[in-house]
Amino acid sequence: MNANELKQYIIDNNKISLVLEKVGCHGIKEYKTEYRAALPNKTNTTAVTVKKETLFTAINSSDLNAVGDIFILIMKLQDVSFGKANKLMHQYLELNYKKYEKKNIEKKTDILDVFKKVKKTRCIANKDIEIYDDSILKEYVNLPHISWIREGIMPFTCKVFNIGYAYDKKRITIPWRYWCGEDENKYVGIVGRTTITNYDQFDIPKYFGIRPFSKGMNLYGLYENYQTIQEKGYVVVFEAEKSVLKRHSRKDGTGTAVGCHSISDEQVKILIGLNVDIIIAFDEGISINDIRKECEKFYGIRNVYYIYDKWNILNKCESPADKPNKQYEFMLKYKILYDDKEHKELIRWEQEKPKKN
């Protein structure tokens, strides 16, 4: 099961107290809307709170404070990553993790493959998704490219996200980790960003699927940023991977990317399952009503906001993450809540726009 399915399983089968016991909590008490317990080797029986309906978890102790979902409890007490916490959760609940893992299927080489992969990126969600281990990274150099460092993507961020370089393809390699993998060595594919100047004049695609995959089945950066997103209580949804990397380089781990400017059904499910506020921060040039259409996918389910550049801060096709931290924080502060008024504006626009013949 992925993390969202697992959380629903815990809620439906009333397994909160079991999870608390497995991580060493004690003095567990059930209340109308929540469970409370003491931390291991502590006496305060209200230090841990887990909400029944959402699994929102709060830890309040003299030496440990954290908020998020129930995975945060495992991550903090067991000192493990999100992926390992997911695997431990399966063990606690006596569920077979491997049963739900996709097989790593190596594709046969096709001499025409290089031409077949050159196509526009689309957020299409397929039911099947192949999961690879880190062997798919071995043919690339694990070093940051100078052009990205000049843009503000720091080497420590490149290391966390395994950004590399393919000399033969002259492309920066951007591996997409599986957002719900049991460890950091599970990938769904690799995107390559060209370093060739004036690439468009030579009909070279800016981004290229070195190891093609359906972006609509995953979210870039969610594995790496899961803990911070839970602790901060919000997720910022960008279009491109670079935006996630630039914000991470500024010590902001709240970003994730969809890989285009449309959020797929599967990505919607993943974001809703995080149970945090959702902030859509797409590039300049996307119309306000197209952004509203994306917000509509979360309307009435989660608090959803969007960043819209009404101050002309952004240049053509820029992401909010491309700007200095002060300007980014300004735009984030004045994000727009997608409320009933916004919902009605979208309906009015859809009713008034010309119908296609």
Among 45, 77, 98, the domain boundary falls at 98
The pLDDT, as a whole number, for residue 228 is 96
CATH for 289? 3.40.1360.10
Among 46, 79, 98, the domain boundary falls at 98
The pLDDT, as a whole number, for residue 197 is 87
Are residue 226 and residue 318 in the same domain, yes or no?
yes
The pLDDT, as a whole number, for residue 143 is 86
CATH for 79? 3.90.580.10
In a domain, 89, yes or no: yes
Are residue 320 and residue 241 in the same domain, yes or no?
yes
DSSP assignment of 185-232, as one string? Answer: T-EEEEEEEE--TTGGGGT--SEEEEE---GGG--BTHHHHHHHHHHH
The pLDDT, as a whole number, for residue 203 is 86
Q: What is the pLDDT of residues 177-205, one digit of tens each?
A: 999 887 788 999 999 999 998 888 888 99
In a domain, 108, yes or no: no
Are residue 282 and residue 160 in the same domain, yes or no?
no
Are residue 242 and residue 155 in the same domain, yes or no?
no
Task: Enter the DSSP assignment of 147.
Answer: H
Are residue 233 and residue 331 in the same domain, yes or no?
yes
Structural domain boundaries, residue 174: 129-213
The pLDDT, as a whole number, for residue 104 is 42
In a domain, 107, yes or no: no
Are residue 192 and residue 281 in the same domain, yes or no?
no
| Contact of 269 with 231, CB cutoff 8 Å | no
In a domain, 111, yes or no: no
In a domain, 137, yes or no: yes
How many structural domains is the chain composed of? 3
Structure tokens belonging to residue 247: 């914000």
| Four-CA torsion 138, 139, 145, 147, nearest 10 degrees | -140
The pLDDT, as a whole number, for residue 170 is 92
Terminal alpha carbon distance of the chain: 44
Compute mean pLDDT per 10 residues along the chain, 357 residues long, and list them: 90 96 96 96 95 95 91 94 92 74 41 36 54 92 91 95 94 95 89 91 89 94 96 97 97 96 95 96 96 97 96 96 97 98 96 77
> Across all residues in the chain, what is the average pLDDT?
89
The pLDDT, as a whole number, for residue 201 is 85
In a domain, 119, yes or no: no
Amino acid identity of residue 228, one-letter, is T
The pLDDT, as a whole number, for residue 98 is 58
In a domain, 296, yes or no: yes
The pLDDT, as a whole number, for residue 348 is 95
Q: What is the pTM of this model?
A: 0.86
Which positions ≥6 away from 248 have C-beta within 8 Å?
Answer: 157, 160, 161, 221, 224, 225, 255
